[in-house]
Structure 1
Amino acid sequence: MQHRIQLVKNLFRNKETTEFVIATIPTYMAVDESARLLQQLHKDNINCKRIVVNQVVGEKTGETYVRMKLKDQQQSLAFLREDPALSQLTKIEAPVIDLEVRGVPALSYFGNLVWSDVYDSMNAGADRKFFLMGGKGGVGKTSCAASLAVKFASDGYPTLIVSTDPAHSVSDSLDQGIGGGKPMPVISPLGDIPLYAMETDPEQARAELRQAMSDENSKKLNEVLDALGMGTVADQLKDLQLGDLLDTPPPGVDEAVAISKVVQLVKNPQYSHFKRIIFDTAPTGHTLRLLTLPEFLDNTIGKLVRLRQKLSLNAVKSFFTGKEEKDPAVEKLDELKGRMAEARDLFRNKNSTEFVIVTIPTMMAVSESSRLAAALKDDNIPVNKIVVNQVLQDNATEKLLATRRADQQRALSHMREDPGLKELQVIQGPLIDLEVRGVPALMYYGSQVWK
């Protein structure tokens, strides 16, 4: 398996055979995220020469598009009403906005459209509430999460929004940097509101994992066993260097550790004033993995650490002294697992926590939302609301497209000015009035984009 994985790793970095194509849409937030992705690709020596800008509103896109789109979205909305996994959820429709939702004023406007009357009754009382926003990539989770945070804060509730998505789009959405791993006040042009934001730091979490698996005890143990003439056991233990195992942890492990740290952080008396805590989660697959990671740690790394504990330096000391001594790595891992289990239990607490699914009115997005809802219910995660974002209103006209056309030009200019992105070949994909699903639609769309 190691050999096959190495072949794939080399293939991805082979400039003669392989290229990475970035796909984006013409908005500031998407362009900025693409710029960060390109920097990481360059850092990892992965070849990238092209960027596809999808959903570009063309000069000729007009009333016909609006009529066809209205008809197309009815199919997915009907499926959403009839699907067994989704039909029981409260539906919240968020309209298509002609300008990108970015910055506190735009989020406040959008939040008043989407969240008014949704959580007003729930806001009664000072109990702390947690909200997790999740769904398919590109459906507007971040805008929904950030707008809900602005709404709660505007209503007077001290609110913290946490980005757990590795792409970290919350800072783009708020139009403010929120790095540093601690809650930072959000500056609002509308006046002071009790809103804070933070990004989890997966790299810091990864470092903590490595520290928890520190191999100092193993090295000392090898020396002791050598001195006792038990070099064969020492040789076997050299293969149990757990720090190496976590140099590149499985996807989602570092995010889960980071989330567990956030849960511990908000328990700190310093942050006890936060009454509404909102998590902007990664796309569906990542989110589902996060919920099972405490079990992963226990079933894999935990067993390895306990094996090492039985053969550890402290076990040798105990043999000679008769006093039981714990392996520090085991203690650190137990603490880490306890934190993650506490976060997992919190996310299953129906009295304090709610998972809100975000989707858009297309069959592909709604179908993925159905699978997500079923998985969440199987995992006992409280979910009773779904936001259907980007719903075209019955009274929509060509004026909406004209405004959006002007807005996308600003984003495309921003892309042409970015030092990395401006070097890529730009391929424009048009806004299509029907969902691109099935081979005929894909052939038509491909003829427009890839020619």
Structure 2
Amino acid sequence: MVAGTQRKYYMLGGKGGVGKTSCAASLAVKFANNGHPTLVVSTDPAHSLSDSFAQDLTGGTLVPVEGPECPLFALEINPDKAREEFRSATQKSGGTGVKDFMEGMGLGMLVEQLGELKLGELLDTPPPGLDEAMAIAKVMQFLESQEYSMFTRIVFDTAPTGHTLRLLSLPDFLDASIGKILKLRQKITSATSAIKSIFRQEQTGQQDAADKLEQLRERMIKVRELFRDTDSTEFVIVTIPAVMAINESSRLRASLKKENVPVKRLVVNQILPPSATDCKFCAMKRKDQSRALDLIQNDPELSNLTLIQGPLVDVEIRGVPALKFLGDIIWK
């Protein structure tokens, strides 16, 4: 995982509460200590990177992490800031983004007819998936912005399973949606001479809007290709040795396969050592965990992944030294 200087992206995800953040943070520390300028990004609405690094990383901007040998920066994508950006983008001079957009496409007359749908109020309330959309916007910046060009490793601490699958499927959805809008515009353009004349009157605005949509569509395709590129991207599933968590991991793996997202490794956290049988509770817990590990070996989705076992440790994993300790165990 540390070999080579080509940039690589690692996304860690799974059921909530299995230790994704600790694994992501420890992997980022591992990369930084092996000479890679590294960025660790939280796309989880309930951020806990600050807790893991024992450092305030809030604010939605790049924050340097103190301690590793090579530059390590953290970024918590700020949902409140994202909502504010959304409102600013969709409200201009008292109008709405939908109205501006429709007029730019030469469809301003339709907005008046749709006024009773209260589009302005709709835009005041950010839609479901906004957090994922902002994460996608950041991924686009990673691909294109000079600010991020120094990083050879980017680690994502993703949200629980449902959010993460929305994030990964969003580029496909947006690509298809934008394509439909562009096709709709073409159909309406050629529908009647009256509408054609309206388009001619506002040709510049329409073309600008169409060009921007086409540019966005091309960027979505880039992001989609990145998520599916086996040379530069890997999704690491994190779980614990419990039947419910293993079952969810199996479903996640099946969904990732459907999205063509490369998965090679499965981290199983919080495993009791074999010696933990000296009390009745420990013996029963160890037996349950062994059953869960057997379940992995017989699961068609998980059995072909590289299995990494993370021990249940007797210290709290908090701060760079503790993360290095965990990383040296998990990411051998």
TM-score, scaled relative to structure 1: 0.52
Matching residue of 2:23: 144
Matching residue of 2:223: 343
Q: Report if the CA contact (8 A) 2:41-2:74 is conserved.
A: yes
How far apart are 1:390 and its partner, in Å? 0.5
Cα displacement string for residues 303-349 of structure 1 (whole angstroms, at most 9, x for unaligned residues): 568768969xx97664347x453266555555444434322221110
- 1:124 equivalent to 2:3? Answer yes
* Counterpart amino acid of residue 164 in structure 2: T
Matching residue of 1:88: none
Question: In 2 relative to 1, CA 316–345 (structure 1 residues): closer, same or farther, beyond 3 Å?
Answer: same
Question: In 2 relative to 1, CA 124–293 (structure 1 residues): closer, same or farther, beyond 3 Å?
Answer: closer
- 1:160 equivalent to 2:43? Answer no
Matching residue of 1:46: none
- 1:218 equivalent to 2:99? Answer yes
Q: Report if the CA contact (8 A) 2:235-2:264 is conserved.
A: yes
Aligned alpha-carbon RMSD (Å): 3.8
- 1:384 equivalent to 2:264? Answer yes
Distance 1:333 1:206 in 2: 21
Cα displacement string for residues 182-214 of structure 1 (whole angstroms, at most 9, x for unaligned residues): 3211012xx643211111123443444455555
Distance 2:256 2:102 in 1: 44
- 1:194 equivalent to 2:71? Answer yes
- Higher radius of gyration, 1 or 2: 1
Distance 1:320 1:267 in 2: 35
* Counterpart amino acid of residue 125 in structure 2: T
Q: Report if the CA contact (8 A) 2:12-2:24 is conserved.
A: yes
Matching residue of 2:63: 184
Distance 2:7 2:46 in 1: 27
* Counterpart amino acid of residue 319 in structure 1: R
Q: Report if the CA contact (8 A) 1:128-1:352 is conserved.
A: yes
Q: Report if the CA contact (8 A) 1:128-1:276 is conserved.
A: yes
Cα displacement string for residues 239-264 of structure 1 (whole angstroms, at most 9, x for unaligned residues): 57655444334432332333332441
1:260-275 equivalent positions in 2, closer than 5 A: 260-265=137-142, 267-275=144-152
- 1:366 equivalent to 2:243? Answer no
* Counterpart amino acid of residue 294 in structure 1: P
Question: In 2 relative to 1, CA 301–212 (structure 1 residues): closer, same or farther, beyond 3 Å?
Answer: farther
> Percent of counterpart pairs with the same letter?
53
Distance 2:13 2:101 in 1: 46
Distance 2:3 2:101 in 1: 58
Distance 2:157 2:255 in 1: 18
Distance 1:242 1:316 in 2: 27
* Counterpart amino acid of residue 200 in structure 2: F
TM-score, scaled relative to structure 2: 0.69
- 1:393 equivalent to 2:262? Answer no
Matching residue of 1:247: 124
Distance 1:303 1:257 in 2: 22
Matching residue of 1:85: none
1:51-450 equivalent positions in 2, closer than 5 A: 119=1, 123-188=2-67, 192-210=69-87, 213=90, 215=96, 218=99, 235-239=112-116, 244-265=121-142, 267-299=144-176, 303=180, 318-320=199-201, 323-326=203-206, 332-396=212-276
Q: Report if the CA contact (8 A) 2:272-2:286 is conserved.
A: no
Distance 2:111 2:255 in 1: 45
Alignment: residue pair count:
274
User: Structure 1: where are the runs of 5+ without partners?
Assistant: 1-118, 226-230, 402-430, 436-451
Higher relative contact order at CA 8 Å, sep ≥6: structure 1 or structure 2? 1
Q: Report if the CA contact (8 A) 1:136-1:368 is conserved.
A: yes
Structure 1 stretch displaced more, 264-273 or 137-146: 264-273
How far apart are 1:141 and its partner, in Å? 0.5
Question: In 2 relative to 1, CA 147–331 (structure 1 residues): closer, same or farther, beyond 3 Å?
Answer: same
Distance 1:376 1:324 in 2: 42
User: Structure 2: where are the runs of 5+ without partners?
Assistant: 190-194, 289-332
